Amino acid sequence: MSDLRLIRSEKLSRYSSVRFAMSTRVGGVSPEPLGMNLSYRVGDDPANVAENRKRFFEALGFMESGSAIPHQCHSSNIQIVSQPGEYDACDGLVTQTNDLPLIVSIADCLPVTIYDVAKAVLGLVHAGWRGTAQGIVAETVDLMVKQCGSSAGEMITYLGPSAGVCCYEVGREVAELFSLDQVEQRDDRLYLNLKKANCDQLLGAGVREENIEISPFCTICTPQLFHSHRRDRNKSGRMMATVSLVDHAGS
């Protein structure tokens, strides 16, 4: 049997109307360090990736073919979706459709889930430093408010495992895109606090502090659990974060 290990959100788990999980490195069949790799684009054997994906989706009760997947490009582009499929050149998806899992692929970048409980609107964002600098999380909240009738005050949000400020060294040209309190200087090096930068965007957009949950995990310095592109370079696998609105009407 598979020893699959998944990351859940404490806040999102309180709602039976939404289901979130993120995969880890644990529980797959690919040779190390790929382990539970879910990407076909990192040189892994496609048969292994297919088996890993099967385990992941079965554990969640989702259909891979029923999911919405963006072709991520480190942008601030967001799409509202109501059908399964692949979506070109975007890093955020928003839906009001039940049983349509949204998926992002992750290895150090931050997965951000935004759930409006009252209006049943769901967003999932892939936020690396580029997307964060372009304000993708604030723009997703804004889109949910303007296009879907959401209220930021009703949103429950989860910032998942990502590169942490403990490890995420950046150059001066990247650091300068962020405010001073989103970057730490240690010795002569600069470290980006990606989670704080995105948390600040949520707060600025009107999300309440008590409705923001932030994972303590850093993908770079937790090799037993997470893939990390920064750590493993071109040997790194990819994880998936996925979230879906759950339809209880028939159950």
Q: Residue 243 class from Cβ within 10 Å (0-12 exposed, 13-18 middle, 19+ buried)? A: buried
Least distance to Zn ion, CB of residue 168, Å = 7
Piece of the chain touching Zn ion by CB under 5 A; list 36-44, 62-70, 153-161, 212-220 = 212-220
Least distance to Zn ion, CB of residue 221, Å = 3
Burial 55-81 (b: 16+ CB within 10 A, else e): bbbeebebebeebbbbebebbbbbbbb
Q: Applying CB under 5 A, does 221 fall inside the site for Zn ion?
A: yes
**Count of residues that interact with Zn ion, criterion CB under 5 A:** 6
Q: Applying CB under 5 A, does 220 fall inside the site for Zn ion?
A: yes
Piece of the chain touching Zn ion by CB under 5 A; list 70-78, 109-117, 165-173, 194-202 = 165-173
Indicate the residue among 195 and 238 with the shorter CB distance to Zn ion: 195
Least distance to Zn ion, CB of residue 7, Å = 16
Least distance to Zn ion, CB of residue 164, Å = 4
Piece of the chain touching Zn ion by CB under 5 A; list 45-53, 106-114, 186-194, 219-227 = 219-227
Least distance to Zn ion, CB of residue 241, Å = 18
Reported in sequence order, the residue ranges of the chain that DSSP labels E, i.e. its strands, are 6-7, 18-23, 68-70, 78-80, 85-87, 92-95, 102-106, 110-116, 121-127, 155-159, 169-170, 183-186, 189-192, 212-214, 239-245
Helices 136-148/194-204 angle, 10° precision: 30
> Which listed residue (50, 133, 167, 225) binds Zn ion by CB under 5 A?
167
Q: Applying CB under 5 A, does 133 fall inside the site for Zn ion?
A: no
Q: Applying CB under 5 A, does 164 fall inside the site for Zn ion?
A: yes
Indicate the residue among 28 and 164 with the shorter CB distance to Zn ion: 164
Distance (Å) of CA 219 to CA 17, 160, 163: 28, 10, 5
- Distance (Å, rounded) from C-alpha 138 to C-alpha 4? 33
Q: Applying CB under 5 A, does 170 fall inside the site for Zn ion?
A: no
- Distance (Å, rounded) from C-alpha 133 to C-alpha 135? 5
Give the interface with Zn ion as residue ranges (CB under 5 A): 164, 166-167, 218, 220-221
